[in-house]
Amino acid sequence: MDRQQKHRWIFTVLNLVMLAALLYVSSRAGPTTAPKEVSYSDFLNELRAGHLSEVQITERELIGVLKAESTGKKPAAEQRIKATRLPGVDESLLLKDLEDHQVKFEGRIEQTSWIWNVIGWVLPVLFIMLLYGFGMRRLAQGGGALTFGKNRAKIHDESTRQQVTFADVAGVDEAKVELEEIIDFLRQPAKYQKLGGRIPKGVLLVGPPGTGKTLLAKAVAGEARVAFFSISGSEFVEMFVGVGAARVRDLFEQAKLKAPCIVFIDELDAIGKSRSSGRAIGFSNDEREQTLNQLLAEIDGFDSSEGVIIMAATNTPEVLDPALLRAGRFDRQVLVDRPDLKDRIEILKVHARKIRMANNLDLETIAARTPGMVGADLANIINEAALLAVRRGGEQVEMRDLEEAVDRVMLGLEKKSRVMSQEEKERVSVHEAGHAVVALSVKHADPLHRVSIIPRSIGALGYTLQLPTQERFLMTKPELEDQIAVLLGGRTAEEIHYGGVVSTGASDDLERATALVRQMVTRFGMSDPLGPLTYGRSMAGQFIKSPFDMEERNYSERTAETIDDESRRIVDEIHKRVAQILLKRREPMERISLELMRKETLERAELDQLVAAAEADVPAEVART
């Protein structure tokens, strides 16, 4: 069991011991068997009937012990009875009765009972408070109950089994070059100390999620063969005031003892968000500020010649507090960018080493099919392919497994179980055929790869898969317009085929088209009436990462109207163009939809054949586009 589990154990045992002690104490507070409570008159009756052998008179009550012969074999609890004394009444009559029946009686003034009472009250309260205290600290620590001041930073050092090295990280050559110097310094600090050069204290790895930042940091430690302390910024988020700062302090204390070493703070943005941004919105996070201040103090507090290098990773460097990026702190930034084609091949190779692959695998095709994917996605594809091979009962991973894995990761699972009525199937076929024909007809659309009416993502009914031939870093206006055209193709095909009766099936397409056209107008300056300006300022990332694109409106009501009008005008124009295309190529569209209903999925080659056959059948001047 790991450390955390062990602490949980200790905590549980401690609780049990305390509970047992409490039970014991409360059991001592009075006799184990309390007398049976009866009314005063019943007590007198028992007394007068001669059932009592002994009576104790305390300040408040009468306790009588029943004679053995009158109780028979009743349980101990019923061998004594108790009645409350009548307040303010002279009980000389009672005394007389007692004497008459020759009952032995004695008076007792209770001194101890109130102490036990108090203890009985106070102990549980104390106990609960203690429990609460423990619990809070445990929560605050996020770890065991007994780890008060210790941080949860994982310590990886040289002896750790699976050392990650640069060989495990592919395709980030520029970043590796940048980090070489750090590795060299950690290996032989003396060389640098002699010359007196100042080694950067902090290195910030910046890049999109899944590009291998965490992996790279580990690899630096692996290459330099030094200890690796890592902690994730997100772990600080749920903490209570003061704990985060204490953790940071501990982390650096430990690190200094182990120098040379690397301290790695993953997801730095979780603690390092700009201090002003929170306040501007009207709430501040004291805990985060304290933690951040402590971090800054620690970074300043030592000299990198001591041999501690701080690394951190973030995918949103723009939200970081400027103080973090100042000289002498995270002053070296290393970009870990999305891999390009060549890098993707390398990454696939790295991960393919770990599984049994057929010899004739063409990883280059896979890399070509996955532009925009990051290392984590590619690792996922290889893993998925291995699982598919196992499910197939295969001996090794083959190309078809990889192809299917790409589809899965890109498009989601095939949802074959859905039952569509014949009418729905027809509508989806017409819709997808519309997308396909437009994609084949417009000049700037990404090449069409496949059309299917088997949905692969939640909510979708079918899909039209286009694959970009190469990475895109920018898009021209005609390219954007053609992209919108393909999106509108589905709805427009429905309009044509069903004589204007449309369905809900196009909502996702319409949403994406709307988002694109709005961006053209407000972000890319692609509308003449609005000119080369941007409208609205994005507030995303300023205080919370919100899935809703929060926008601060910095334009007039009139401009808002123009934006709406322009978006509408652009979409209307494209829609008209799409309708023309589909009317002209109605025959290919109808044939594709019929074939889709029959075969459900059509690859590019089949589509080309269908279109060619359809256009050979109709008069040439109509087919010309």
Structure tokens at 63: 């306790």
d(CA 466, CA 453): 15
Residues in contact with Mg ion by CB under 5 A are 214
- CB nearer to Mg ion: pick between 179 and 451: 179
Question: Which residue is at the shortest CB distance from Zn ion?
Answer: 490
Q: How far is the CB of 314 from ligand ADP (least distance, A)?
A: 10
Site for ligand ADP in 94-133 (CB under 6 A): none
Q: Give the containing element (helix H, strand E) for 512.
A: helix 507-522
Q: How far is CA 452 from the centre of its chain?
A: 32
367 contact choice in Zn ion, Mg ion, ligand ADP, none (CB below 5 to 8 Å, kind-dependent):
none
Q: How far is the CB of 409 from ligand ADP (least distance, A)?
A: 13
**Binding of residue 298 to Zn ion (CB under 5 A):** no
- CB nearer to ligand ADP: pick between 172 and 451: 172
**Binding of residue 267 to Zn ion (CB under 5 A):** no
**Binding of residue 490 to Zn ion (CB under 5 A):** yes
Cα–Cα distances (Å) from 284 to 271, 273, 279, 281, 294, in that order, read 13, 11, 5, 8, 17
Q: How far is the CB of 466 from ligand ADP (least distance, A)?
A: 26
**Binding of residue 209 to ligand ADP (CB under 6 A):** yes
**Binding of residue 348 to ligand ADP (CB under 6 A):** no
Q: How far is the CB of 216 from Mg ion (least distance, A)?
A: 9
d(CA 304, CA 200): 7
Q: Is the Cβ–Cβ distance between 450 and 462 less than 8 Å? A: no
**Three-state DSSP class for residue 65:** strand
Q: Give the containing element (helix H, strand E) for 214.
A: helix 213-224
272 contact choice in Zn ion, Mg ion, ligand ADP, none (CB below 5 to 8 Å, kind-dependent):
none
375 contact choice in Zn ion, Mg ion, ligand ADP, none (CB below 5 to 8 Å, kind-dependent):
ligand ADP
169 contact choice in Zn ion, ligand ADP, Mg ion, none (CB below 5 to 8 Å, kind-dependent):
ligand ADP
Q: How far is CA 511 from the centre of its chain?
A: 26
- Identify the CA nearest to 102 among candidates 67, 128, 73: 67
- Residues in contact with ligand ADP, shown as a per-residue x/- string from 362 to 391 under the rule CB under 6 A: -------------xx--x------------
d(CA 294, CA 298): 6
Longest pairwise C-alpha distance within the chain: 133
Of the candidate spans 306-314, 502-510, 571-579, 580-588, the one that interacts with Zn ion by CB under 5 A turns out to be 502-510
How many Cα atoms occupy the beta-carbon half-sphere of 254 within 13 Å?
Answer: 23
- Options 426, 432, 494, 595, the catalytic residue: 432
**Binding of residue 213 to ligand ADP (CB under 6 A):** yes
490 contact choice in Mg ion, Zn ion, ligand ADP, none (CB below 5 to 8 Å, kind-dependent):
Zn ion
Question: Which residue is at the shortest CB distance from ligand ADP?
Answer: 375
- CB nearer to Zn ion: pick between 307 and 490: 490
Q: How far is the CB of 133 from ligand ADP (least distance, A)?
A: 37
Q: How far is the CB of 509 from Zn ion (least distance, A)?
A: 4
d(CA 184, CA 569): 60
d(CA 214, CA 230): 9
509 contact choice in ligand ADP, Mg ion, Zn ion, none (CB below 5 to 8 Å, kind-dependent):
Zn ion
Interface with Zn ion (CB under 5 A), residue total 2
Of the candidate spans 174-182, 357-365, 487-495, 615-623, the one that interacts with Zn ion by CB under 5 A turns out to be 487-495
- Residues in contact with ligand ADP, shown as a per-residue x/- string from 305 to 344 under the rule CB under 6 A: --------x-------------------------------
Of the candidate spans 78-86, 203-211, 408-416, 566-574, the one that interacts with ligand ADP by CB under 6 A turns out to be 203-211
Q: How far is the CB of 171 from ligand ADP (least distance, A)?
A: 5
- CB nearer to Zn ion: pick between 96 and 512: 512
Q: Is the Cβ–Cβ distance between 216 and 175 less than 8 Å? A: yes
Q: Please give the radius of gyration of the chain, using alpha carbons only, rounded to the nearest integer.
A: 39
- Identify the CA nearest to 530 among candidates 553, 563, 558: 563
* 414 catalytic per annotation: no
Site for ligand ADP in 215-234 (CB under 6 A): 215
d(CA 132, CA 355): 50
Site for ligand ADP in 162-191 (CB under 6 A): 169-172
Positive or negative torsion for Cα 370, 372, 373, 374: positive
Q: Which long-range contacts (CB under 8 A, 24 or more apart) does 105-113 make?
A: 105/54, 105/55, 105/56, 105/57, 106/55, 106/56, 106/57, 107/56, 107/57, 107/58, 108/56, 108/57, 108/58, 109/58, 109/59, 110/58, 110/59, 113/30
Q: How far is the CB of 427 from Zn ion (least distance, A)?
A: 11
Q: How far is the CB of 483 from ligand ADP (least distance, A)?
A: 29
Cis peptide before 260 (omega within 30 of 0): yes
350 contact choice in Mg ion, Zn ion, ligand ADP, none (CB below 5 to 8 Å, kind-dependent):
ligand ADP
Q: How far is CA 349 from the centre of its chain?
A: 29
Name residues whose C-beta falls within 8 Å of residue 625's C-beta, 6 or more positions apart in sequence.
441, 581, 584, 585
Site for Zn ion in 20-59 (CB under 5 A): none
Q: How far is the CB of 511 from Zn ion (least distance, A)?
A: 11
**Binding of residue 509 to Zn ion (CB under 5 A):** yes
Of the candidate spans 1-9, 451-459, 508-516, 600-608, the one that interacts with Zn ion by CB under 5 A turns out to be 508-516
Q: Which of 98, 350, 496, 614 binds ligand ADP (CB under 6 A)?
A: 350
Q: Which of 79, 214, 304, 452 binds ligand ADP (CB under 6 A)?
A: 214
317 contact choice in Zn ion, ligand ADP, Mg ion, none (CB below 5 to 8 Å, kind-dependent):
none
Q: Is the Cβ–Cβ distance between 11 and 143 less than 8 Å? A: no
- Identify the CA nearest to 447 among candidates 433, 465, 466, 463: 466
How many Cα atoms occupy the beta-carbon half-sphere of 332 within 13 Å?
Answer: 16
Q: Which amino acid is at 532?
A: P
Torsions phi, psi for 533 (to 5 deg):
-125, 160
Q: Which residues are at the interface with Zn ion (CB under 5 A)?
A: 490, 509
Just list the catalytic residues.
432
Q: Which residues are at the interface with ligand ADP (CB under 6 A)?
A: 169-172, 209-215, 313, 347, 350, 375-376, 379
